Structure 1
Amino acid sequence: MSPEAIALVMFAGMIVLMLTGQRIFAMIGAVAAASALALYGNSAAELPFNAVFKLFSWYALLTLPLFIFMGHMMAKSGIAEDLYRMMHVWCGKLPGGLAMGTIFLMVIISAINGLSVAGLAIGSAIALPEMLRRGYDKVLITGVVQGGSTLGILLPPSVVMVLFSVIARQPVSELWLAGVLPGLMMAAVFAIYVYVRVKLNPSLAPKLSDEELNMPLREKILLLKAGIAPVVIFLLMIGLFVMGYTNLLESSAVGATAATVAAAWKRRLNFKLLVEAAHETMSVTAMFMWIVLGALAFSAVFDGIGAVRAIENIFIHNWELSPWAVIILMQLSFIVMGMFLDDTAMLVIVAPLYIPLVQRLDLGIDHQMAWFGILYTITCQIAYVTPPFGYNLFLMRGMAPKEITLIDIYRSIIPFALMMVLCIVLLMIFPQIATWLPSYFRG
């Protein structure tokens, strides 16, 4: 069989096995093992062992459990609930102020969390009931919570970016820096949408009561202390790393320690909280490790048969596509896959093909792989919220108040998914939005 045919069989086999609903890492590993045995015989038995040792040698993976622990500690210690009250008071006078405040809250949570699920849980448990009680349109605020929660994987310290950096073998610091401005841009686009929508139709977001609007300035300033802990954690973790005082692993340890100290400072740290955070940290970390291991085994076989070079010849030489046409095709395929797969499955499927191909494309962009990583990450955000299998949709259905139906959830996300696509287009037209900050700090 030709390399192209072998690659097609491998991809088709992996997709078919994934449709069975079994564990992703097991399906990827099964395809890799079967392909290796068919191609190389008994000598392929060394493949998983080599992948394991390669996995253990990747320094960046040590940060994963620390970042995940930090996120769970911040979510479970109630710090986000205090942040929401602060945003509610300070943004309440604006049209749709609570919804806009929820978006800003999601930005802050993203900056200390790195996960989408925690932001969604906080928003659905705290923000949704409060805004419903005040008469906000349920479709609007459901979209706000879902769209805002996806910012957790675009702003540092994004766990998805750490996984991408490991598989793509790129510095995670460049990816984090590249994600800052696109993440803030997307949050601003969401907030502008809410403001304009409510301005055109004020019934979507009734004004606050006079008692809430006329809170004394002294009490408002006292509420600002809710933002102290997240800001301190973020500055300690990201600031020390960017300034060169700590390396990546040390910064993740600083973040995890600071989150634990913050929970103790608020007198919410106890043994039960530590056990729950540790248990969820180990569960998520183990899942990530198995997926990366399966991806390494699959990539080893895929590279060994020369499939990447063969597909590159099809795109560039046979079809005579320009580098930008190739990137556009990749993004379209991401969006389609995102309707059926989660972010890790997408990355595992495309990593053997897309990442080497992007490295060979001459786009004239500084920090090209970091820029592509941001495009991939935004597409993951779209994957989280698009039917039929966007898992944020199902999480929202499980956590939202009973008056919000599945149809409301599906309707709510359409404008936010379109705004994410708009941000992808802007990043392709103006790649400097993602590359300026890495270039500035490198310079």
Structure 2
Amino acid sequence: MTMLNGYACVRCGCCYPSDIAIDSRGCPACRDETPANLRVIEHNVADAAGCKSLPSLWRYSDCLPCPVEFAVSLGEGLTPLLEAPAIGAELGLSRLWIKNESHNPTWSHKDRFSSVAVSVARMQGARIVATASSGNAGASLAAYASRAGLTCIVATFAGAAGPMLAQIRKTGATVVPFANKTDRWDFIAEGVELHGWFATSPFRAPVVGSHPVGIEGYKTLAYEIVEQMGGNVPDWCVLPVCYGDALAGLWQGFKGLYEQRAIARLPRLVAAEVHGSLTAALAGTGDGIPDMKAEFASLAISIGATRSTFQALIALRQSDGLAVPISNEGLIRLQERLAEREGIFAELASVTPLAAIAMLRRRNVIAANDRVVAIATASGLKDVDRSLSSHDPLPTYHSVPEAWEAIGREKSITPRAFEPV
């Protein structure tokens, strides 16, 4: 297993003890120049016996910052890596895979983060875990807190996706909505400072990323992809990116495998973003992350921040990666095409990688025969209230002939089409 042996800055490398207060401002040495998150310093003790047989990401507990006996698990990880030839052909690719994270217990990739974060929180004696979340992170943390017997506080904002708020409330978490989005950070900060809450999300500006222990859970994405590809490595991994927690963890995972000589090369990463913060940062040579003007209200609300983080920038730079800004145009239709062609109903943010791949194919940056993995981070049920906004209400038919006439007009279907072959 890997014990929590302290933290190091992802930018300057300064090291800090494991009992440092994680106050969401990141490395004390970098705050005034370029705020940067911390990462866990790994100290391998010994492999946990029999962990490879565990039906969760804790099968990789030798690479996680918590002994497996403290693990809080709902069976997260081990999500399918599905070949997607139909949608791949539409994008101009002959080899596309979808890593379908909607198969996690709360239907999003955040369960990888929450399982590890809540496990460490409980191990350290925390009684209350808290997050500032618009949906997926809150739903996930609430479920794992419930499993661990901890109290969960989710600070959110008016207008967050209804299905996700319902999911959070059903677990018994306390939901605190604010009219002003930034008030939720002040609320979490007071909880941490005055009451000792274990906060898993950012709650300071500028954001550096989420709690480092939770980010360790995203390393397992890389482990699974390589294992599911028979030890091979994709040429590209494309995923939705806001503050870059999953991106940073994914890259740590691949780097770890490379350093252990378990893989012979590293993939290039692509961040599908909304407002272009990482695109602008990559165009420069410095470490600053620009705060962009929001030109539109994104349908992909979970990645809608106007400013990303240094941890995301460094992962892209080290992987010779790219960032691609994605608008709302065609996003719902792309979601529908993925569902129609491959049977995968993904959250709107989760189809932004496909939009990014389409753009990079048009520019011939990604070649037609490159091996590409798109990470679909969450289920389409998460924001169905947004994705169905373009649909007309379904009609109700009052007779069988009326129904046949209607669907015949719509899809040229006849009764014979339903006869057994």
TM range (shorter): under 0.3
TM-score by length of 2: 0.26
Q: Which has the higher strand share?
A: 2
Q: Which has the higher helix share?
A: 1
